[in-house]
Amino acid sequence: MTDHDLPVVAHWFDGAAAPSASGRTAPVHNPATGAVRAHVALADQADVTAALASAGRGLAEWSAFSIAKRQSVMFAFRELLNARKGELARIITAEHGKVVSDAMGEIARGQEVVELACGFPHLIKGAFSENASNGVDVYSIKQPLGIVGIISPFNFPAMVPMWFFPVALAAGNAVIVKPSEKDPSASLWLAQLWKEAGLPDGAFTVLQGDKVAVDGLLHADEVQSISFVGSTPIAQYIYETASKNGKRVQALGGAKNHMLVLPDADLDLVADSAVNAGFGAAGERCMAVSVVLAVDPVADELIAKVAERIAKLRIGDGAADAEPDMGPLISAAHRDKVSSYVDVAEADGARIVVDGRGYTVDGREDGFFFGPTLLDEVPTTSRAYTEEIFGPVLSVVRVKTYEEGLALINSGEFGNGTAIFTNDGGAARRFQNEVQVGMIGINVPIPVPVAYHSFGGWKKSLFGDAKAYGVHGFDFFTREKAVTSRWLDPATHGGINLGFPQNS
Ligand code: NAD
């Protein structure tokens, strides 16, 4: 097959796949084989304009649906997703590389938000105060924003868009999803599913592309809000640009998550958790644990237990019948970047306990694999400690006390997730109070909140005020009106009054 025979992953306008006006494309790889499997359209301004028109048509129809009718579409989508999610998981694995069971896990967490959103009438119903003043009632109503933009990263091509679009749609908005150009097909599959569920054409629009597509959305007057997830420098750019253009914005950025292990912790549970959270999805999770802070004297025993578990991990093609534990990284360039961080750690004096550099898989020699890597005594001044690596590299830092570990966590620029492992409830309680991080696990390694709470970090892990999903999500995707109304009682009509309104 030549490059010309490969499929082109298109936009989705007005309820159908739509070719690009730009003619620009980018290759989409299967990371397990290294082969190009498709090309994705990269939008230009004409495509952005077409996406806005599509969403505008969808908005007009969808926002006029009654709550009951909107709810029936949400439930239909949930049923279709639940019945057919295996198809979506295979698409994710083919373009992202994570193993199929992990792709199913990502979909399950997204489905939770769909299920939350099915109950939306309760969450958008506003409030009523009868007789706030004599004969005066005050009430608030929540209305959709209009067209909202969702820009997502490569690492969760289904779950991250699902953090936002079920809530945005339930609230009556039309969405334009701009997927990562590295794994763009999941969003198209979801678009088709919405169509089958009965969503009006255009209410779920997909705009494929790169910075040109993103900038088009950031500068379009029709777009009322931006929900972004990706790396910190881009999150900051999105936040600043969208805010300057008068949009509501939530921009979730990168992470460097620490696990603090106190001497009284169950070290088998800690080792299992560290391996799960450090190497699952090849470390390409914003909630991955990348640093274990081992409080004296646990480091030696813990490192031995983690190394023992690493030796048993099976690395390979995530789509293989005998499913491995861990798949490849997203691209050759990213694999090389991860590798360079291990070089940096080594040069800075870290001890390499398990070295994943140069890892190859039989029969998949061109895949973007990187073996699980365990580093000990990583200096906290090293870039390998301070920067996000986003790969299967777990660094151990030895600390003498709880206070020393806490101070390290709080000195970092990120504040996404963290975990403490201990059997001391008092220490855990102190940690949850003192740590400067948005999502905290207590003997739980990847504390992604359930759908009825909200997801978001502190510091450079979240720009903006609103987290994703939960009550934050419904607040973000609705605009409130407060109505003060007076219906005169025919018996007590008071005549003209020029005074300032007061409660009396
Ligand atoms: P990325 O920032 O490179 O890309 C994210 C999105 O921004 C993509 O859709 C991409 O097309 C677009 N983009 C890239 N460069 C741009 C530019 N210069 N201008 C405008 N748009 C641009 O991130 P990624 O590599 O796809 O994803 C990995 C990152 O996402 C990691 O840093 C990870 O921690 C982070 N992440 C964070 C969370 C969270 O909840 N905080 C969740 C998932 C991923």
**Is the separation of the CB atoms in 245 and 219 below 8 Å?**
yes
Q: How far apart are CA 135 and CA 201, in angstroms?
A: 44
CA of 230 to the centre of ligand 1 (A): 2
Q: How far apart are CA 424 and CA 421, in angstroms?
A: 9
Structural domains in the chain, CATH included, are 3-253+461-482 (3.40.605.10), 257-442 (3.40.309.10)
Average pLDDT, stretch 149-176?
98
Pocket of ligand 1 (CB under 6 A): 151-156, 160, 178, 180-181, 210-211, 214, 229-231, 234, 252-255, 286, 388, 390, 416, 457, 461
Is the model's pLDDT at 492 over the cut of 80?
no
Q: Give residue 494's pLDDT band: very low, low, confident or very high (50, 70, 90).
A: low
The type of residue at 345 is A
Residues labelled as active-site residues: 286
Average pLDDT, stretch 139-146?
97
> How many other C-beta atoms lie within 10 A of the C-beta of residue 296?
12
Helices marked H in 245-347? 267-279, 299-312, 332-347
User: Residues 425-454: pLDDT tens digits?
Assistant: 999 999 999 999 999 999 999 999 999 999
Query: In which element (H, E) is residue 68 found?
Result: helix 67-96
CA of 152 to the centre of ligand 1 (A): 7
Helix, strand or coil, per DSSP, at residue 309:
helix
The type of residue at 90 is R
Percent helix, strand, coil in the chain, to 5, is 40, 25, 35
pTM of this structure? 0.96
Among candidates 273, 279, 257, 256, which has minimal Cα distance to 392? 279
Omega prior to 297 cis, within 30 of 0: yes
User: Residues 393-422: pLDDT tens digits?
Assistant: 999 999 999 999 999 999 999 999 999 999
